[in-house]
Structure 1
Amino acid sequence: MRSIQPPPVLVRRALRVVWPLLALTITILGLPVLVAGALASVVDRRARLFRATSLLILVVWLDVQLLIGCWRLRLADPRGASPSWYPDHEQLLSDVLDKAMALGRKWVGFEVRLDDVMDLGDPGKPLIAFARHAGPADSLAVAWLLSRTGGRLPRIVLADALRWDPGIDLILTRLGSSFVPSASGAGDDRLAGVRRLADSLARKDALLLFPEGENWTPSRRGLLITRLREAGQHARARQAERLRNVLPPKTKGAIATLSARPDADVMIVAHAGMGRLTGAREIYAAIPFERPFLVHTWTYPAETVPHEPAAIESWLSARWAEIDAWVERQGE
């Protein structure tokens, strides 16, 4: 995802117009596959092709619903100056997240569970959440959980390649989320958006970041260890070797965020159950999922979190070791 460049502005605008027609085309092309999947379910009792195709088509139309919802809000408030402009978009996104999670449960058994009470911190302070990145739809699940469990729909830092999705692009742009430039983007300050989001957090806001930068997979872990050794970063290579289920966290974003908002409580988010589903083949073979997406959180009051760069690095590394140990105990 990080290697994919975002569409130019004119292409983004064009996608917002033609996306319903493209969705209709995808649906028509998917109908024969859907029929084949229904017939194949006689042999494949798990009905994987039927389930996966049905979910894909429904999610495409859910994205169209998101886009049309944004159009309606613009028509109702052309200047975007109403006091309800931001809350209305939050409600739209929350409703679509609810529907997406319901579809995931119904069609492929994607069920999110908490293994303990989620502490959202002081309700009078903003919350910064650092989450593990692994498995299918983990960012969606964590964002939904923060929204529905604690009423804190998070602002998200995500790859700017996701601007190819017109619904996501439009609503998250309006909500002020940060689309991080790809690593190859010459001259781009990849932390500018993170700092902007941190600075703008109100007392009931949440900011969600994934410090690993990309989904954990065995191959990425191995390549990272090799690169670190070749670069002479032996201490960091040893850290990566000790972590079996996560990648070492990249700390620049965390440092920028915590330095900007020393008043924010911090949540660490671990999850297990689907982290080993690292590719399309593994995901497809596991449908319907038999294990839940199990989530565990640790919340730290602002005054207990360090804010000096070196101390943040050590603190976050320790937290990621705890995530790794917790995932290991779940038998993932």
Structure 2
Amino acid sequence: MGETMRAIGIKNGSGPADALFVDTIPKPVPKGSEVIVKVKAFGLNRMDLLQREGKYPVPSQAPATMGVEFSGIIESRTNEDAERSFKVGDEVFGLAYGGAYAEYVAVSTHMLLHKPKSLSWEQAAGIPETWITASQAMYLVGEYSRGKSILWHAGASAVSIAGIQLSKADGASAIYVTASSQEKIDFCVKELGATGGFNYRSGDWAQALLQATNGKGVDIIVDPVGQSYFQQDLIAGARDGRIVSLGMMSGTRTDGPVDIGLFVAKRLRFEGSTLRSRDEAYQGRLRDTLQDHALPKFVDGSFKVYIEKVLPFERIVEAHKLMESNQTRGKIICTVD
């Protein structure tokens, strides 16, 4: 029998947060361009909740163990396909197809970055999935250019926190958010620099946004919510606007009538986007974009990683329940000793 390691498993393969437990499984063996990283910390993402419940289409190349973003130290590299700039002992962080909820993860060097000394393990583990998702949605899919306006739904979520910072740094004319409380809106406006925000629980946010923009709407909407916002997104979008769908937190089927005439009247484009199912080369290009444009701003302090809570990975049940509460501002990080 080969080497083993501790990893987070799910009793019976899927279930609620209480089904999570610390298991002992075989240590991964690298292939292709992969190296083995000893994990120091990993970040939680909403896809993890869906995967735990058996509702997420896991890529074929992903292991059963959850987790896609992490920081750690390269323990071994055995393949010539691995990028030569990554050596044993290097401190790194990156994105994996899965397996980060563990003591070790096998990951392609094309999806790794060197960790700056100025970033902690916890901060580094909270960057890859969040910031790459935000930049992909904003630039590649949303076709953002300087001077456009943008709306980030779930404004206090980790992806939107990253997106607000990216938008502000790249000269957005206006940055709006939706959130579940005035406290979260104030955080987005006063601390992150958003232009304004709307509490979706206390009124019609789409009409409020139209009023704030003198009827124009916004050029780009980034939406992880889904069906409950679909009609309002069409109303809030500006002419020639882009609506980027990142998820379906509220479900996939609309409850009420939808006026699809707005697509034509406003020349809107609605496009879905995923990251985890993309091939290694595509993710590598996104990695390079993050490294060239965002990493220097983390080093000089212009960009910040907002962390809600850090827990040892043995308390993974608590971590998942905290994410399910929707009361967080920023990342939930687990450490591995």
TM-score normalised by the chain length of structure 1: 0.32
Instruction: Tell me: higher relative CO, structure 1 or 2? Use CA pairs within 8 A at least 6 residues apart.
Output: 1
Larger relative strand fraction: 2
Larger relative helix fraction: 1
